[in-house]
Amino acid sequence: MPPSGDRSRNPSSPRAGPPAGPRASSALAVVCAALSAGCTGPSTYLDNPGNHPVYVDGQAEPRTELPFRYYGTSQFDVVPADEARGADFGRRPERRTVVMPPPASLWLFPLDFPLEVVHWVFAGQNEPVVVIAPAEVPAEDRLSPDFKPVGLEVVTERALQARISR
Protein backbone atom coordinates (compact mmCIF):
# COMPACT_ATOMS: atom_id res chain seq x y z
CA MET A 1 0.00 0.00 0.00
CA PRO A 2 1.46 3.40 -0.93
CA PRO A 3 2.07 5.95 1.75
CA SER A 4 -0.92 8.16 2.60
CA GLY A 5 0.79 11.32 1.23
CA ASP A 6 1.23 9.87 -2.30
CA ARG A 7 -2.17 9.97 -4.04
CA SER A 8 -0.85 9.98 -7.61
CA ARG A 9 -0.91 6.15 -7.81
CA ASN A 10 -4.25 5.66 -6.12
CA PRO A 11 -6.96 5.31 -8.81
CA SER A 12 -9.72 6.40 -6.44
CA SER A 13 -7.89 9.67 -5.80
CA PRO A 14 -9.58 12.83 -7.20
CA ARG A 15 -6.26 13.82 -8.79
CA ALA A 16 -5.85 10.68 -10.84
CA GLY A 17 -5.26 11.14 -14.58
CA PRO A 18 -2.87 13.13 -16.73
CA PRO A 19 -1.23 16.19 -15.24
CA ALA A 20 -3.25 19.43 -15.53
CA GLY A 21 -0.33 21.39 -17.04
CA PRO A 22 -0.83 20.57 -20.77
CA ARG A 23 -4.62 20.89 -20.54
CA ALA A 24 -4.40 24.24 -18.79
CA SER A 25 -1.84 25.63 -21.26
CA SER A 26 -3.89 24.51 -24.30
CA ALA A 27 -7.04 26.03 -22.79
CA LEU A 28 -5.14 29.25 -22.13
CA ALA A 29 -3.91 29.28 -25.75
CA VAL A 30 -7.48 28.89 -27.05
CA VAL A 31 -8.75 31.69 -24.80
CA CYS A 32 -5.89 34.00 -25.89
CA ALA A 33 -6.59 33.25 -29.56
CA ALA A 34 -10.28 34.02 -29.10
CA LEU A 35 -9.51 37.29 -27.33
CA SER A 36 -6.96 38.40 -29.92
CA ALA A 37 -9.52 37.82 -32.69
CA GLY A 38 -11.61 40.62 -31.21
CA CYS A 39 -8.72 43.09 -31.37
CA THR A 40 -9.08 43.71 -35.09
CA GLY A 41 -11.92 45.46 -36.76
CA PRO A 42 -13.07 45.96 -40.29
CA SER A 43 -10.76 47.82 -42.64
CA THR A 44 -11.99 50.60 -44.89
CA TYR A 45 -10.92 50.40 -48.52
CA LEU A 46 -10.58 53.49 -50.72
CA ASP A 47 -11.29 53.08 -54.41
CA ASN A 48 -9.66 56.15 -55.94
CA PRO A 49 -9.40 55.52 -59.71
CA GLY A 50 -7.85 58.91 -60.56
CA ASN A 51 -5.28 58.76 -57.74
CA HIS A 52 -6.52 62.11 -56.42
CA PRO A 53 -5.39 63.44 -53.02
CA VAL A 54 -7.73 62.11 -50.28
CA TYR A 55 -8.22 63.48 -46.77
CA VAL A 56 -9.85 61.39 -44.04
CA ASP A 57 -11.20 63.50 -41.17
CA GLY A 58 -8.88 66.33 -42.24
CA GLN A 59 -5.71 64.20 -42.44
CA ALA A 60 -3.99 63.43 -45.76
CA GLU A 61 -4.29 59.70 -46.47
CA PRO A 62 -2.11 58.15 -49.22
CA ARG A 63 -3.08 54.52 -48.43
CA THR A 64 -5.90 52.60 -50.09
CA GLU A 65 -6.59 50.36 -47.08
CA LEU A 66 -7.28 52.11 -43.81
CA PRO A 67 -7.03 50.17 -40.55
CA PHE A 68 -9.96 49.93 -38.16
CA ARG A 69 -10.72 53.42 -36.79
CA TYR A 70 -13.69 52.58 -34.51
CA TYR A 71 -17.37 52.80 -35.16
CA GLY A 72 -18.86 56.16 -36.01
CA THR A 73 -18.78 58.73 -38.80
CA SER A 74 -15.80 59.66 -40.97
CA GLN A 75 -15.48 62.42 -43.55
CA PHE A 76 -13.66 61.61 -46.80
CA ASP A 77 -12.58 64.62 -48.90
CA VAL A 78 -11.06 64.36 -52.35
CA VAL A 79 -9.36 67.17 -54.26
CA PRO A 80 -8.79 67.03 -58.03
CA ALA A 81 -5.22 66.08 -58.89
CA ASP A 82 -3.23 68.50 -61.01
CA GLU A 83 -2.78 67.49 -64.61
CA ALA A 84 0.38 67.88 -66.68
CA ARG A 85 -0.94 71.17 -68.12
CA GLY A 86 -1.94 72.60 -64.73
CA ALA A 87 -4.90 72.50 -62.41
CA ASP A 88 -7.92 70.42 -63.39
CA PHE A 89 -10.80 72.90 -63.46
CA GLY A 90 -13.14 70.34 -65.01
CA ARG A 91 -13.63 68.72 -61.59
CA ARG A 92 -14.55 70.04 -58.18
CA PRO A 93 -13.73 68.77 -54.68
CA GLU A 94 -16.07 66.16 -53.25
CA ARG A 95 -16.94 65.15 -49.66
CA ARG A 96 -18.35 61.79 -48.57
CA THR A 97 -19.62 60.84 -45.15
CA VAL A 98 -19.23 57.17 -44.23
CA VAL A 99 -21.05 55.77 -41.20
CA MET A 100 -19.66 52.61 -39.61
CA PRO A 101 -22.38 51.26 -37.29
CA PRO A 102 -21.33 49.05 -34.38
CA PRO A 103 -22.42 45.40 -34.73
CA ALA A 104 -23.89 45.30 -31.21
CA SER A 105 -25.63 47.89 -29.10
CA LEU A 106 -23.13 49.81 -26.99
CA TRP A 107 -25.21 49.63 -23.81
CA LEU A 108 -24.78 45.82 -23.66
CA PHE A 109 -21.26 46.20 -22.28
CA PRO A 110 -20.54 42.76 -20.83
CA LEU A 111 -22.22 41.05 -23.78
CA ASP A 112 -20.94 43.21 -26.63
CA PHE A 113 -17.86 41.09 -27.38
CA PRO A 114 -19.75 37.75 -27.64
CA LEU A 115 -22.44 39.46 -29.75
CA GLU A 116 -19.78 40.90 -32.08
CA VAL A 117 -18.17 37.46 -32.45
CA VAL A 118 -21.56 35.90 -33.27
CA HIS A 119 -22.24 38.71 -35.77
CA TRP A 120 -18.85 38.22 -37.47
CA VAL A 121 -19.32 34.44 -37.64
CA PHE A 122 -22.80 34.51 -39.18
CA ALA A 123 -22.92 37.84 -41.07
CA GLY A 124 -19.25 38.30 -41.90
CA GLN A 125 -17.13 41.33 -41.29
CA ASN A 126 -18.51 44.57 -42.70
CA GLU A 127 -15.61 46.18 -44.57
CA PRO A 128 -16.84 49.27 -46.38
CA VAL A 129 -15.42 50.26 -49.76
CA VAL A 130 -15.48 54.01 -50.33
CA VAL A 131 -15.45 54.92 -54.02
CA ILE A 132 -14.28 58.50 -54.12
CA ALA A 133 -13.57 60.77 -57.06
CA PRO A 134 -13.94 64.49 -57.67
CA ALA A 135 -17.25 65.50 -59.19
CA GLU A 136 -17.40 66.70 -62.78
CA VAL A 137 -18.20 70.38 -63.21
CA PRO A 138 -21.37 70.72 -65.31
CA ALA A 139 -20.81 72.09 -68.81
CA GLU A 140 -22.87 75.22 -68.14
CA ASP A 141 -20.60 76.11 -65.17
CA ARG A 142 -17.29 75.67 -67.02
CA LEU A 143 -15.36 78.57 -68.44
CA SER A 144 -14.68 78.48 -72.15
CA PRO A 145 -10.97 78.36 -73.06
CA ASP A 146 -11.27 81.55 -75.13
CA PHE A 147 -12.79 83.55 -72.24
CA LYS A 148 -11.01 86.86 -71.72
CA PRO A 149 -11.94 89.06 -68.75
CA VAL A 150 -12.88 92.65 -69.54
CA GLY A 151 -10.28 95.21 -68.48
CA LEU A 152 -7.47 92.70 -67.91
CA GLU A 153 -4.93 94.96 -69.64
CA VAL A 154 -5.75 97.85 -67.30
CA VAL A 155 -5.35 95.70 -64.19
CA THR A 156 -2.05 94.28 -65.49
CA GLU A 157 -0.70 97.78 -66.23
CA ARG A 158 -1.66 99.01 -62.74
CA ALA A 159 0.03 95.97 -61.16
CA LEU A 160 3.24 96.64 -63.11
CA GLN A 161 3.21 100.35 -62.11
CA ALA A 162 2.72 99.42 -58.44
CA ARG A 163 5.60 96.96 -58.66
CA ILE A 164 7.92 99.52 -60.26
CA SER A 165 7.08 102.19 -57.67
CA ARG A 166 8.27 100.03 -54.77
Full-model pTM: 0.54
Confidence at residue 14, expressed as pLDDT on a 0 to 100 scale: 56
Confidence at residue 106, expressed as pLDDT on a 0 to 100 scale: 64
What CATH number does the domain located at 38-135 have? Answer: 2.60.40
Residuewise pLDDT in 10s, the chain (166 residues): 555 555 555 555 555 555 556 777 777 766 656 555 555 567 788 888 888 889 999 899 888 888 877 778 889 898 888 777 777 778 888 898 988 877 666 666 777 777 777 777 887 766 778 888 888 888 787 777 777 778 888 998 999 999 887 6
Q: Are 54 and 77 in contact (CB under 8 A)?
A: yes
Long-range contacts for 76-83 (Cβ within 8 Å, ≥24 apart)? Answer: 76/46, 76/130, 76/132, 78/48, 78/52, 78/53, 78/54, 78/132, 78/133, 78/134, 79/52, 79/53, 79/55, 79/134, 80/50, 80/52, 80/134, 81/50, 81/51, 81/52, 81/53
